[in-house]
C-alpha cells in the first residue's frame, strides 16, 4: 500500500467526518467556514488599503502636425494641443485641434463646419439632455451601453474659442466659451479660425475608463462644391495659395 493510498484514505475519512450529521462534524464545518470568511475579509481589507496607482498616460502632441482643411464630409482624429489633469488626478481635460475653419463660398456665404458624430475607442457616443455629457455608447451592431454615462463630456467649437456649437444629432449643446471650460485658459486662448473640441474624461477603474482613448469626429463642411473648394483653396491666405480674388474669373 503506497503513501498515495494512505493520503487518499485520510482525505476520504475527513470528507466522511465533515459530511456526517454528528455534532462534531457540524462544529468542524462551522469552524472551517468561519476561517474561510476571515481570510476573504482580510484579503479584501488589504486590497482596500492599496492606493490606485492610476494609468500612465502619454500625451504626445505633435509640434509639426499640419492642421488639415476639411471640405465636404470627413472623419478626423485631430491632435491634442493642450491637456490638464484635475480633481486629484481623476479628471483629464483635453483640447483636440481638428481642422481649419474655411472661408466664404463663391456667393460670399460663410461656410460652416458641423459636428455629426464622435467616437471614443470606436464606440459612437450619444449625449444626454445638455448635449455634451455622454449618456450612451454604441457599437457597430447598434448595441448600446450606459457604462460611460456622465463619465465623458465633449464640447465642440467651430471657428474659435467663442464659437461653441452643438452636435448635429443633439437638440442642445454647450453655450460657454472654451476658455470658461478648459482649466487654465484665459480670453487669450482664442483658437482663432480653428475647429476643435474640449473633452473631459473622468477616471473610473471599475468602468474601464482609465485612458484618454482614441477619439474620432465626423465633420461636415457646407463648402463641398468643386468651384467653392477651388476658389477657397486658391484665395485663402492662411492655408491656400493666397491668389488675389480679383485675379480669378469666378463666373
Partner 1 sequence: MANLDAYTSVRTALFVRIDVNEYRTTSSGSFAPEILKFSDYDSTFNILGFDYTPLGEFLTITPTTSELRPSSNSISVSISGIPTNNVAEVLYSKIKGSPIKIYRAYFDASTGTQIGATEGRFFGSINNFSIVDELSTTDRTSTSIIEFDCASSVDTLAQKLTGRKTNPQSQQRFYPNDLSMNRVPTLKGTKFKFGAQE
Shortest separation between residue 178's beta carbon and partner 1, angstroms: 9
What number of other Cβ atoms are within 10 A of residue 42's Cβ?
10
Nearest to 94 by CA among 118, 69, 122, 117: 118
Q: Does 5 bind partner 1 (CB under 8 A)?
A: no
Q: Does 232 bind partner 1 (CB under 8 A)?
A: no
List the one residue from 38, 90, 180, 245 that touches partner 1 (CB under 8 A).
Answer: 90
Nearest to 191 by CA among 97, 77, 78: 97
Shortest separation between residue 224's beta carbon and partner 1, angstroms: 20
Q: How far apart are CA 108 and CA 201, in angstroms?
A: 39
List the one residue from 8, 9, 20, 54 that touches partner 1 (CB under 8 A).
Answer: 54
Long-range contacts of 4-8, Cβ-Cβ distance < 8 Å, separation of 24 or more: none
Nearest residue (CB) to partner 1, 55 versus 122: 55
74 bridge partner residues: 219
Shortest separation between residue 157's beta carbon and partner 1, angstroms: 11
Nearest residue (CB) to partner 1, 124 versus 161: 161
Q: Which 3 state secondary structure label does DSSP give 246?
A: helix
Shortest separation between residue 38's beta carbon and partner 1, angstroms: 27
Q: Does 100 bind partner 1 (CB under 8 A)?
A: yes
Q: What is the DSSP letter of 34?
A: H
Q: Does 102 bind partner 1 (CB under 8 A)?
A: no
Q: Does 247 bind partner 1 (CB under 8 A)?
A: yes
Are 99 and 70 within 8 A, CB to CB? yes
What number of other Cβ atoms are within 10 A of residue 127's Cβ?
22
What would the x/- binding string for partner 1 be over residues 57 to 86, using CB under 8 A? xxxxxxxxxxx-x---------xxxxx-x-
What number of other Cβ atoms are within 10 A of residue 149's Cβ?
14
Q: Does 153 bind partner 1 (CB under 8 A)?
A: no
| Piece of the chain touching partner 1 by CB under 8 A; list 36-44, 103-111, 148-156, 231-239 | 231-239
Are 219 and 74 within 8 A, CB to CB? yes
Q: How far apart are CA 18 and CA 11, in angstroms?
A: 10
Q: Does 197 bind partner 1 (CB under 8 A)?
A: no
Binding residues for partner 1, how many (CB under 8 A)?
A: 55
Are 133 and 125 within 8 A, CB to CB? no
Q: Does 56 bind partner 1 (CB under 8 A)?
A: yes
Residues that bind partner 1 (CB under 8 A): 51-67, 69, 79-83, 85, 88-90, 92, 95, 97, 100, 161, 185-186, 188-194, 203, 205, 210-212, 236-243, 247
Amino acid at each position: 500500500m503506497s503513501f498515495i493510498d494512505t493520503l487518499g484514505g485520510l482525505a476520504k475519512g475527513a470528507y466522511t467526518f465533515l459530511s456526517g450529521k454528528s455534532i462534531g462534524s457540524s462544529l468542524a464545518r462551522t469552524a472551517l467556514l468561519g476561517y474561510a470568511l476571515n481570510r476573504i475579509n482580510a484579503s479584501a481589507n488589504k486590497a482596500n488599503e492599496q492606493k490606485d496607482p492610476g494609468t500612465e498616460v502619454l500625451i504626445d502632441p505633435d509640434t509639426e502636425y499640419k492642421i488639415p482643411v476639411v471640405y465636404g464630409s470627413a472623419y478626423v482624429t485631430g491632435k491634442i494641443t493642450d491637456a490638464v489633469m484635475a480633481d486629484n488626478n481623476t479628471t483629464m481635460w483635453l483640447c483636440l485641434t481638428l481642422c481649419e475653419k474655411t472661408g466664404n463660398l463663391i456667393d460670399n456665404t460663410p461656410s460652416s463646419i458641423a459636428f455629426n458624430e464622435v467616437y471614443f475607442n470606436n464606440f459612437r457616443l450619444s449625449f444626454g439632455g445638455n448635449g455634451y455629457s455622454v449618456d450612451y455608447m454604441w457599437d457597430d451592431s447598434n448595441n448600446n451601453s450606459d457604462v460611460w454615462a456622465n463619465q465623458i463630456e465633449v464640447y465642440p467649437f467651430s471657428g474659435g474659442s467663442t464659437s461653441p456649437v452643438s452636435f448635429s444629432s443633439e437638440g442642445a449643446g454647450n453655450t460657454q466659451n472654451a476658455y470658461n471650460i478648459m482649466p487654465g485658459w484665459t480670453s487669450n486662448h482664442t483658437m482663432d479660425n480653428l475647429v476643435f473640441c474640449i473633452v473631459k474624461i473622468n477616471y473610473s477603474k471599475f468602468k474601464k475608463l482609465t485612458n484618454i482613448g482614441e477619439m474620432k469626429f465626423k465633420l461636415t463642411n457646407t463648402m463641398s462644391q468643386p468651384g467653392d473648394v477651388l476658389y477657397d483653396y486658391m484665395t485663402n491666405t492662411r492655408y491656400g495659395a493666397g491668389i488675389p480674388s480679383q485675379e480669378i474669373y469666378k463666373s
